């Protein structure tokens, strides 16, 4: 029985740098998600992520330090760091963990349509009178799950394209009306651990 043997040159200049690149993507992605979770006050998953993050980083660093003359390892290390930052942000966005507050500013006519939509879809919403730069407007405040933001934004753009809205992350929540989440099998476990804390 014959085995495929990789030459030392291919291993040192191709396979090993690729493994370093992949390891850096993994640990930097975890680091990006961990920092975001800490900023949101999610204290349960952050330490677990930190453990695996540092283990992967140490393994990659050990390989680089063992052969400082290999320039391919340095480039793989740097490119992995850059790619991992992007991948971490994409993963965090796909998970859509946490809650946000939406501020929607509209005219009085379009206000009723948005309020009706929010109530029909079981989103909590508070409407109030406000003074705009040109005329009187209505301000709608709503605390929603991040996973629901695209649905609300699509409705606003289709029905009231002139409406202004902003979105901000929320760390603590105390009471409110929230639309039930329907997480899939992948994100269900994450959502069970990272619900915003209710401030007492």
Q: How many CB atoms lie within 10 A of CB 31?
A: 20
* Same-domain check for residues 152 and 122: yes
How many CB atoms are located within 10 Å of the residue 10 CB?
Answer: 10
**pLDDT over 50 at 51, yes or no:** yes
Q: Are 114 and 148 members of one domain?
A: yes
Cα separation, 147 vs 167, in Å, equals 13
Sequence-ordered alpha helix ranges (H) in 40-184: 45-66, 71-95, 108-120, 149-159
Calpha distance 23→78 (Å, rounded): 11
For residue 107, pLDDT beyond 80: no
Query: When comparing pLDDT for 25 and 178, which is higher?
Result: 25
Residues 120 and 163 grouped into a single domain: yes
Q: Do 66 and 82 share a domain, yes or no? A: yes
Cβ atoms of 196 and 170 closer than 8 Å: yes
- Tell me if 175 is assigned to some domain: no
Q: Do 110 and 150 share a structural domain?
A: yes
Residue 179, pLDDT score: 65
Q: Which domain-ending residue is among 57, 73, 95? A: 95
| Residue 107 falls inside a structural domain | yes
- Cα torsion angle, 95, 42, 27, 52, sign: negative
For residue 38, give its domain range.
8-95
**Of residues 25 and 131, more confidently modeled:** 25
* CATH number for 141: 3.30.70.120
- In the chain, the number of structural domains is 2
Residue 131 is encoded by which pair of tokens?
Answer: 């003074």
Residue 72 has pLDDT above 90, yes or no: yes
**Is residue 180 assigned to a domain?**
no
Q: What is the DSSP letter of 139?
A: E
Residues 71 and 130 in one domain: no
CA 136 to chain centre: 35
Does residue 168 have a pLDDT over 90?
Answer: no
Residue 126 shares a structural domain with residue 74: no
Using the predicted structure, report yes or no on whether residue 34 has a pLDDT greater than 60: yes
The last residue of a domain, from among 72, 95, 118:
95
Q: What is the pLDDT of residue 186?
A: 47
* Residues 54-65: tens digit of each pLDDT: 999 999 999 888
- As a whole number, mean pLDDT of residues 105-121 equals 82
Judgement on whether residues 106 and 165 belong to the same structural domain of the protein:
yes
pLDDT at 129: 86
Tell me the pTM.
Answer: 0.68
Residue 49 lies inside a defined structural domain of this protein: yes
């Amino acid at each position: 029985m014959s085995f495929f043997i990789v030459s030392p040159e291919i291993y040192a200049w191709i396979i090993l740098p690729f493994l370093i690149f992949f390891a850096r993507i993994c640990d930097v992605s975890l680091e990006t998600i961990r920092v975001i979770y800490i900023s949101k006050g999610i204290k349960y998953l952050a330490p677990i992520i930190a453990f695996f993050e540092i283990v992967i980083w140490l393994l990659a660093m050990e390989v680089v330090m063992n052969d400082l003359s290999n320039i391919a390892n340095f480039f793989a290390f740097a490119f992995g760091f850059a790619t991992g930052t992007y991948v971490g942000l994409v993963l965090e966005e796909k998970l859509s963990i946490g809650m946000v507050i939406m501020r929607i500013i509209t005219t009085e006519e379009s206000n009723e349509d948005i309020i009706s939509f929010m109530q029909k879809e079981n989103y909590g919403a508070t409407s109030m009178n406000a003074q705009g730069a040109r005329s009187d407007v209505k301000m709608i405040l709503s605390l929603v799950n991040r996973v629901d933001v695209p649905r609300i934004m699509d409705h606003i753009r289709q029905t009231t394209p002139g409406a202004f809205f902003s979105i901000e992350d929320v760390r603590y929540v105390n009471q409110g009306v929230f639309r039930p989440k329907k997480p899939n099998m992948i994100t269900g476990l994450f959502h069970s651990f990272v619900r915003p804390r209710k401030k007492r």
